[in-house]
Each structure stands twice: as structure tokens, then as C-alpha cells.
Structure 1
Amino acid sequence: MSGTEEKGVYRALFIVNFLACLGFGIADPFFPVYATSNGAAGIHLALIFSGFAAAKTLFSPLTGWWSDRIGRRRLLVIGLFAHAAIAIGYLCLPSPSSLILLRFLQGIAAALVRPVSLAYIGDMAPARHEGTAMGTFDISYYAALAIGPVAGGIVKDTFGFPGIFICLSALCMLAFLTALVFVRHFGKNRVSEIRTLRVDLSVLKKSGTLIALCGFIFSRTFGIVYFGMFLPIFMFENLRLTGIEMGVVMGANTIVTALMLRPMGLLSDRVARDRLILTGGTAAALLTAFLPLSETFPHILFLSIGIGFASVLSLPASSALLVEEGNRQGMGLTMGIFNAAMNLGAVLAPLAGGILFSLFGMKAVFYGAGFLGLGGVCFYHLARNTRKGDSGQGS
């Protein structure tokens, strides 16, 4: 594939990722309300959301490995089409038991899309420019995340829940058609090489970098989950902020991340990536621990912006190291294992946070996230230095 063709595939994947993520950004904030309005109780909600994350955790390594074996395009378009179909299923089968099953199936579909898309980008990322390629691509995710809830609110108020899920289905179908037409098969692995691969998670024992990155993102996920899950409660009950103020605090974090992804990607291709990950991870953990000490709107807004900046400091750098490791171990399998670690954190974080909140109160939730984040930084540093020669550019 020529350089021009690769750029075309990259742009198409950017659009595909933006469309699919925008659909979920529109639907996800209203999914709990939809479920409860159809009779879902607390246990149903727990199964709906934990089942989605559990499916992604279980299937991401498998689909990543599978994409190394049979090619990425086929799995990507299947996953996008499944997303579109399942979205309509939410309207046709609204009972709690049906929603649990459909959400689990959507988790499998998500495992077909996200790791495979990242593997595609990793395949195309030029040497010593991995951070720029991955950071720029992730703008599609964070931009959709920033726009989605606002667009979803407008759709919900105008067309109700049918409008929400029709939007999700339509956007995923548009992403499916874009991938079908513009995303061509591409990969550095050739069939003769791919057939020698096996789903072998012992790669974690062989790669200090991969296990370090998995530990880092697992611990970091707790802070991310608690920011979205518990911070709105803290702002409403403790700080008595208005709805607009709460929206500004939550949105500022995402906007900063989206705006800084490409500059930080360029930076990660020029300076030591380990330093960016360690600095960003440490800062994000400390700022998360400071959240419950906030007393005013400007204070918590400053912390939100700071967490966004600290997070984006480490994001392209870690993605670049992941691409380098994917070139050694298999891009799809590497991306799948990494996403599984992140999704495992998404499964366990709400459970741990709920226990901390019930036993010790709100402050303990954020202190716990900060402590775990610092532990993840230490784990990353130790794991990266356990295997000589297993280092990325600028490490």
C-alpha cells in the first residue's frame, strides 16, 4: 500500500472511530434512565454495565489475535454492523433481561472495533512517529466524547429514547459503510507469518513493557471511572454547584485532552517516553486525590483541567510504546491485551468505589484512586526495568 493510500485509510479510520464513539457518547449517558424506565432494578443495572465491560475484557485479546491471523478489515466491519443492529434491539427488546444480553453482545462487538482499529493505526504508524500517529487518532475519540452528551440531550428532549437509539444505530451504520468502502486491508503481518501465531498470554511474561503498560492503565482506569461516577455526586451534594457548572467541570477535562493530544504526541516522539508516562501518571494520581478537598467551583475546575493535562501527557507516550511492542509481539494481540487490562479496571472500579463510599465516605474514594494511581506508576517503573533491551525510543 502506498503512502497516499495509507493516509486515506488513516483518515477513514479516524472518521469511523469518531462516528461510532459519537453514537455511544449520545446514548450512554441516558442508558441507565432507559433501563430503569423499563423496570430495571439496581442488580439489573450492575449486570448491564459490568457485563458490557466483562465482555470487552474477555474478548479483546481474542479478537486482537484473530485480527493478526485473518486480517483486520473483516472484524472491524462485522463489529460496526453488530453495533448498529444491537442499537435497534434495545428498542425492540427493552426488558431488563434482554438489555443485559444485548449489552453483553455489544461488549463483544466493541472488542471487535476498538482493539482492531488501534492495531490498524499501529500498523501504519511510522517508526519514531508512533506518538504523533496514535495521539492524533485518539482525537476522534475524545472529540466525540465531548460532543456526544450535549447532542444526546438535544436528541432526548426532541425525540425521546427512540431518537437516542436510532441515532446510535445510524451513526454506527454510517461508520460501517465508511469502513466497508474506504478502509482497505492493511497489515505488516503476512499470512505465512500469522499462521505461526497462537493466543498465548505468556507474552506478558516475555515483555516487561507490555506488562508495565497493562498495570499502568489498569490502575489509571480507577481514577477515570471515579471522575465520571463520583465527582458529579460530590459537586452536587458537597459543593452545591449548578448543572451548568458541573457540565463545565466535566467537559473541561475532555476538551483539554482532545486539544493537547497531537502536541503531546509530537512531544512523545522527541523526548523520553518513560518520563512523560511517569510524570503524567504521578500528577494525575495526586490531582485526583486532591479532588475532595475542593471547596469552590474555580478550585475544582482547576483540578479537572490539571487532570486532563496530566492524562494527556502520558497517553500518546504509552500508545507509542504499545505500538513498538505490537511490532514485536503482534499488533492485534498487543492492543487486545492492553484493552483487556483497561476494561478489567472498568469492571472492578465501580465495585471497589461503591465499597469505599459505603464504608468510609466520598473522600476515601478519591484518596483510594490516587493511592492506586501512584502504585500503578511505581509498578510501571519496576516492570519496565525488569527486562533489559525491552525499551522504547527515548526511554
Structure 2
Amino acid sequence: MTARRQLQALFLTRFATAFGIVTLLTLLPTYIDLLDPQGFVLGMFATGLTLAQAGTVIPVSYLGDRFDKRTVLLVGLGLAAAVYGLFPLVSSSWSFVFVRGLQGVAATTAGLVGLALVGQLARDSARGTTIGTSNAWRFAAAIGGSLSAGLLYDRFGFDAVFGLLVAITLVAFLAVLAFVDPDETTTEGFALADLAVNRRILTITSFRAQYAVAVTLVRTWVPIFAGVAAARGGLGYNAAINGATAVAVVLAAEKFTNMLCQPYTGGLSDRQGRARFVFVGGLAYGVVALVVPFTPAIGAALGLPAVFPYFGDLSPAFLPLVALNGLLGIADSIREPASMALFADEGSGKGVASSFGVRDLVWRPGAVLAPLAGGWLTTNVGMEWVFYLGAASAFTGVAAFAGILTYRHGRSGLGAW
């Protein structure tokens, strides 16, 4: 099978995996309002997923490099289809946490191995472009997932939402089965251990470990901020007509700008070096995150409407929140393909699944702990402090990354890679 046909099938798996993740993220405020979790359990609504993902990374990285990646990918997609069939049976906070944990296992298996195959099949000179294109498919799914989740739930309930997820995941399964060749580029030993001490990977992880806190908090709490009741620190859009759809529009703005920009910014990182893009994207993300809690004041100062056709009564913060989430997408599109290509570059020929496994593992501590901190801040201090913590984490990550490169390469450190 040609590399192009295989990449197209793999892009579809990225689409299916992202579609499921974002659908659940969009419905998270709905589940919060229905099941009413508090404190620690509220944090576990996000952390249940990330804990399961963290526990899955090492075995999947090993299996992906040691055996046939295609087979491991098919197992992940099959499990995902089964898990989406379980979600309509959820009836309590802890059953939601459990099933969402199973979703984390399936999503990590399919996502990590699918991305490893994309990085492996991409040409060295166009790796950032190929990864950016792969990510564009992921963000197209994120837009479709967020919008369809809101529309289908508002009209037909949970059964229609999860029926669609099962169907999309099965289509991706069949595409891999039909078009992706068995993978013969296996490695001996445990490549992840060697790549974990790779100098370049250690440098990028100095940024990524802290940036994980920023992105996890901001991406998780933007829909919560938009959807939950004003009495709990949010904007209360779920109380409006078609409120879940209003939250979906906010989420879609970030995915749309990210989707448009990533193939272009990935190509720029192929030609101009990757480190500058990581630095600028991370810095911009922190600046925009810092502004999110001020959207009600911005909307009021600009005299923006509070009532919108189709949605009904929202707030003057609606348009500023959509715009800021779009800017978050642009900021992340500058960073992400360059960062991912650095990991693929270092893993090429040594164990690309393990390289992406290191990338995933470094992300997990922040992704696990950040929602717990966010739940505590929301309950005890105020929701705006979630975004302040997210911005601070982005700034410290950028400072560490630039500092290490400057120490090793001098003033031109950011241009060394």
C-alpha cells in the first residue's frame, strides 16, 4: 500500500479518536450539572481519563515498537467502540469516572500508536507538515465532535451522541484493516528507557511538563466556565435555549483556528527550525489564558449583546470568549507541530512509539494533578484562579525551555534547533 493511502487511513483514526475525546469534553458541564460532583470527585471527572492514559502509555509504547503497530492500533479502536456503547448506561458520578477511564485506555492506545505510524511514514524533510496535517484532521474532528454533541444532545439525548461515536470509530477500524500495511519496523529491548535520557528530549520535556498544567486546565475549564451555573462561578450557558450547543460553539473556535493553522506552521518549522515555534506558541498561550476570566468585563465594556438568535439569553461575555478561545487555538498551532516533530525526529530509527510515549508520559503528571487543583480552586477560591494558574504554568515552562537552550547554545539558543 502506498504511504499516502496509509497516511489517509491513519488521519481517519486521529479523526475518530479526537471526535470521541472532544464529544465527552463538550458534554462535561452537562454531566456535572446532572450528577453534581463536588471537590475531589469533580476533579476526577477529568483526572479519571488522564490517570488511565498515564497507566497505558508505557505498555503501549513497548508493544508498539516491539510488535506490529497496526495490530495494536486495531485493538485500541475496537476497545473505543465498545466503551462508547457503555456511556449511555452511566447513572452516577463514579460510574462516569470509571467509563471515562476506559475511554482513556482506548484513546491512548489508538492515539499514541496512530501518531507513531504517522511520524514513521512521514518524510524527514516534511515531518512537521505531515504531523500538522494529521493534527488538522484531529481538530476537524474536534469541531465536528463539539458541535454534533451539543446539537444531538439538545434534540435526542445521549443515545444519539454515543451511537454516532460507535459508528465513526468502527469506520476508522475498517479503514486501518483495509489500507494500512502490517508494520515490520520493530525494535529490540526497551527503547523508551534510552529515549527518556536523550538530551533534546530532556530539554523539550522541561517545557512540556509545565505546559501540560496550562493546557489541561484551560481546555478543561473553558467549557466548564461557559456552561456551569453563574452561582458556581461560570457563565451559565447551559441554562439557555440550546445551551449545550452554545458551549460547543465556544469549544469549536479553538479547534477551527488550530485546524487551519497547523499544516502551515508545521511546514514553517520544517524550514526554519522548531524551538522558536515552541517558545512563541507557549508564551502566547499563557497570555491569552490570563485574559479568559475577564470576558464578562470585556463584553460589558464593549457593549456587546447578551441575547443571541437560536441560543437565547447568554451574556455579553459570549463573543469575547469565542474570540479568545480562537486565539488559544492559534497560539497552540504555533507550538504543537514543532514540538511533536522534535519527538518524531529523535525517535526515528530508535523507536518512534517510545519517543511519543516519553512525550505522553511527561504530560501525564500535570494532566492528572491539574484538574484536581482546578476542582479545589473552583470550589474554594474562585474559577478565575484556574486560568491564572494555567497562564503561570505556561510562562514558567517557556522560561525553563529558553533558559536551557540559552545556557547550552548562547544567545542564539532558540535558533539552534
Task: Determine the C-alpha separation between the residues in 1 that align with 2:25 and 2:264.
Answer: 29
Task: Determine the C-alpha separation between the residues in 2 that align with 1:232 and 1:333.
Answer: 32
Task: Give 1:232 deviation, angstroms.
Answer: 4.6
Task: Determine the C-alpha separation between the residues in 2 that align with 1:346 and 1:276.
Answer: 22
Tell whether 2:228 aligns with 1:231: no
Task: Give 1:93 deviation, angstroms.
Answer: 6.6
Task: Determine the C-alpha separation between the residues in 2 that align with 1:312 and 1:241.
Answer: 29
Tell whether 2:115 aligns with 1:118: yes
Task: Determine the C-alpha separation between the residues in 1 that align with 2:84 and 2:160.
Answer: 11
Give the corresponding residue for 1:203: 195
Give the corresponding residue for 1:277: 278
CA gap 1:263/1:91 in 2 versus in 1, 3 angstroms: same
CA gap 1:70/1:393 in 2 versus in 1, 3 angstroms: farther
Task: Determine the C-alpha separation between the residues in 2 that align with 1:45 and 1:359.
Answer: 13
Identity of aligned residues (%): 27
**Would you say the 8 A contact 1:130–1:319 is kept in 2?**
no
CA gap 1:358/1:44 in 2 versus in 1, 3 angstroms: closer
**Would you say the 8 A contact 2:76–2:106 is kept in 1?**
yes
Task: Determine the C-alpha separation between the residues in 1 that align with 2:225 and 2:44.
Answer: 25
Q: Secondary structure of 1:57's partner?
A: helix
Once the two structures are overlaid, the 10-residue window that deviates more, 355-364 or 177-186, is 355-364
* Alpha-carbon RMSD: 3.1
The aligned amino acid for 2:363 is: M
**Would you say the 8 A contact 1:32–1:45 is kept in 2?**
no
Give the corresponding residue for 2:268: 267
Give the corresponding residue for 1:16: 13
Tell whether 2:203 aligns with 1:212: yes
Task: Determine the C-alpha separation between the residues in 2 that align with 1:288 and 1:180.
Answer: 41
Task: Determine the C-alpha separation between the residues in 2 that align with 1:247 and 1:101.
Answer: 24
Task: Determine the C-alpha separation between the residues in 1 that align with 2:22 and 2:49.
Answer: 15
**Would you say the 8 A contact 2:85–2:163 is kept in 1?**
yes
Task: Give 1:186 deviation, angstroms.
Answer: 3.2
Give the corresponding residue for 1:143: 140
1:146-193 per-position Cα deviation (integer Å, ceiling 9, x unaligned): 111221223224432222222222221121111111111235x34xxx
Give the corresponding residue for 2:392: 371
**Pairing partner for 2:372 from 333, 343, 351:** 351
CA gap 1:208/1:45 in 2 versus in 1, 3 angstroms: same
Task: Determine the C-alpha separation between the residues in 2 that align with 1:47 and 1:271.
Answer: 41
CA gap 1:23/1:353 in 2 versus in 1, 3 angstroms: closer
Task: Determine the C-alpha separation between the residues in 1 that align with 2:54 and 2:234.
Answer: 36
Once the two structures are overlaid, the 10-residue window that deviates more, 319-328 or 241-250, is 241-250
Task: Determine the C-alpha separation between the residues in 1 that align with 2:108 and 2:378.
Answer: 31
Task: Determine the C-alpha separation between the residues in 1 that align with 2:381 and 2:398.
Answer: 25
Alignment of 1:124-203 (within 5 A): 124-186=121-183, 189-190=185-186, 194-195=187-188, 197-198=189-190, 200-201=192-193, 203=195
Runs (5+) with no aligned partner, structure 2: 238-242, 300-316
Tell whether 2:303 aligns with 1:306: no
CA gap 1:240/1:278 in 2 versus in 1, 3 angstroms: same
Task: Give 1:361 deviation, angstroms.
Answer: 2.7
How many residue pairs get aligned? The number is 383
1:303-342 per-position Cα deviation (integer Å, ceiling 9, x unaligned): 3333221111111111111111111641011111212222
**Pairing partner for 1:362 from 378, 383, 400:** 383
Task: Determine the C-alpha separation between the residues in 1 that align with 2:90 and 2:247.
Answer: 33
Task: Determine the C-alpha separation between the residues in 2 that align with 1:70 and 1:212.
Answer: 29
Task: Determine the C-alpha separation between the residues in 1 that align with 2:403 and 2:351.
Answer: 24
Task: Determine the C-alpha separation between the residues in 2 that align with 1:387 and 1:49.
Answer: 37
Runs (5+) with no aligned partner, structure 1: none
Once the two structures are overlaid, the 10-residue window that deviates more, 146-155 or 285-294, is 285-294
Q: Secondary structure of 1:184's partner?
A: coil
Give the corresponding residue for 2:53: 56
**Would you say the 8 A contact 2:147–2:249 is kept in 1?**
no
TM-score by length of 2: 0.81
Tell whether 2:95 aligns with 1:103: no
TM-score by length of 1: 0.85
**Would you say the 8 A contact 2:47–2:372 is kept in 1?**
no
The aligned amino acid for 2:222 is: L
Task: Determine the C-alpha separation between the residues in 2 that align with 1:110 and 1:334.
Answer: 18
Once the two structures are overlaid, the 10-residue window that deviates more, 170-179 or 298-307, is 298-307
Task: Determine the C-alpha separation between the residues in 2 that align with 1:245 and 1:158.
Answer: 14
